[in-house]
């Protein structure tokens, strides 16, 4: 797929956000806040950065993405559908009985999903395994793991981080969605994971800090990440939970609930 320009990526990010709102509203449940905060990052990945083929989802040389914060599946589904992995009409079935599009991604049912996720803290371990396999098989693919800043309170994250450093996984790129909110409040109130940069640096990662809503910064960060050798990279993306919908921005209450009809209409209007 030919790489598209900044303006087109910004337009696509709005389209991805509309898809998020549509899914959660029609399902009557879901996680809009954290899905909206990662929309720009996933847009750059799926429409600019990744070496993937929507016609051949299991292509062995493809880049891999692990959405470790699996409850934010609406953002991933919106990207996959718009990229052509499955029909966009299927988004209307999100969280419906017998739908492939469950509340968390299922690699056995959804084309383009590289890892089933949802149990927080486990995704980085899977990504590390994929990256090690790539090294052993002498493949050039890269592995991207998207983590929540609340999720990194889980101890397994740091076990995986140690392994990434030990095996010098320069084909692994971790992205932390640092929107500073989790289900029960701010990161500091619940179980502070700050300073995130110093923690990952102490585990042997190269650190890149960006505005997670600035398309140019995201692109540049991925370019820099590819140039780093002999160590894994952690991109800390400062984001806003609920980004793009005024009444959802920085509101912890929108972690996991659906908008009503009036709120839905307002959100779609703001995202046009």
What is the pLDDT at residue 2? Answer: 56
pLDDT 10s digits, 204-221:
999 999 999 999 999 999
What is the pLDDT at residue 197? Answer: 98
pLDDT at 170 over 90: yes
pLDDT at 3 over 80: no
> Six-digit token pair at 127?
């990504």
Averaged pLDDT, 214-238: 98
Contact in structure between 268 and 18 (CB atoms under 8 Å)? yes
Count the neighbouring beta carbons within 10 Å of the beta carbon of residue 164. Answer: 29
pLDDT band at 264; cut points 50, 70, 90 = very high
| Domains, the chain, with CATH or none | 6-270 (3.40.50.970)
What is the pLDDT at residue 254? Answer: 97
Count the neighbouring beta carbons within 10 Å of the beta carbon of residue 162. Answer: 12
The helix or strand, by DSSP H or E, that contains position 217, with its residue range, turns out to be helix 215-227
Averaged pLDDT, 13-35: 98
**pTM reported for the whole predicted model:** 0.97
Share of the chain above pLDDT 90, in %: 98
State the pairing for strand pair 172-178/143-148.
parallel
What is the pLDDT at residue 4? Answer: 74
Contact in structure between 105 and 123 (CB atoms under 8 Å)? no
pLDDT 10s digits, 122-163:
999 999 999 999 999 999 999 999 999 999 999 999 999 999
Of 120, 246, 254, which is closest to residue 181 (Cα–Cα)? 254
Q: Phi-psi region for residue 185, left (φ > 0), alpha (ψ -120 to 50) or beta?
A: left
Report the greatest alpha carbon distance in the chain.
Answer: 53
63-67, 73-77, 181-185, 263-267, range with the lowest pLDDT: 181-185
pLDDT 10s digits, 70-82:
999 999 999 999 9
Rg (alpha carbons) of the chain, rounded to whole number: 17
Could you write out the DSSP letters of every residue in 239-258? --TTTTSTTTTT-GGGSS--
């Amino acid at each position: 797929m030919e790489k598209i320009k900044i303006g087109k990526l910004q337009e696509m990010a709005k389209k991805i956000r509309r898809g998020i709102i549509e899914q959660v509203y029609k399902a009557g449940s879901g996680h809009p806040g954290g899905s909206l905060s990662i929309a720009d990052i996933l847009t750059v990945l799926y429409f600019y950065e990744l070496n993937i083929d929507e016609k051949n989802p299991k292509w062995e040389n493809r880049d891999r993405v692990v959405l470790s914060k699996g409850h934010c599946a609406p953002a991933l589904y919106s990207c996959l559908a718009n990229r052509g992995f499955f029909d966009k009409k299927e988004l209307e079935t999100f969280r419906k009985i017998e739908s492939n599009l469950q509340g968390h991604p299922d690699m056995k049912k959804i084309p383009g999903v590289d890892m089933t996720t949802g149990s927080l803290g486990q995704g980085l371990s899977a990504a590390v395994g994929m990256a090690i396999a790539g090294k052993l098989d002498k493949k050039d693919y890269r592995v991207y793991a998207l983590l929540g800043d609340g999720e990194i309170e889980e101890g397994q994250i740091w076990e995986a981080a140690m392994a990434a450093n030990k095996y010098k996984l320069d084909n692994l790129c971790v992205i932390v969605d640092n929107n500073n909110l989790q289900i029960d409040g701010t990161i500091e109130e619940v179980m502070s994971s700050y300073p995130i940069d110093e923690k990952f640096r102490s585990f042997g990662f190269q650190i890149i800090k960006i505005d997670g809503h600035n398309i140019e910064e995201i692109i540049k960060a991925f370019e820099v990440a590819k140039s780093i050798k002999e160590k894994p990279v952690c991109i800390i993306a400062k984001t806003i939970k609920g980004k793009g919908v005024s009444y959802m921005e920085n509101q912890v209450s929108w972690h996991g609930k659906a908008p009503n009809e009036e709120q839905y209409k307002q959100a779609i209007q703001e995202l046009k």
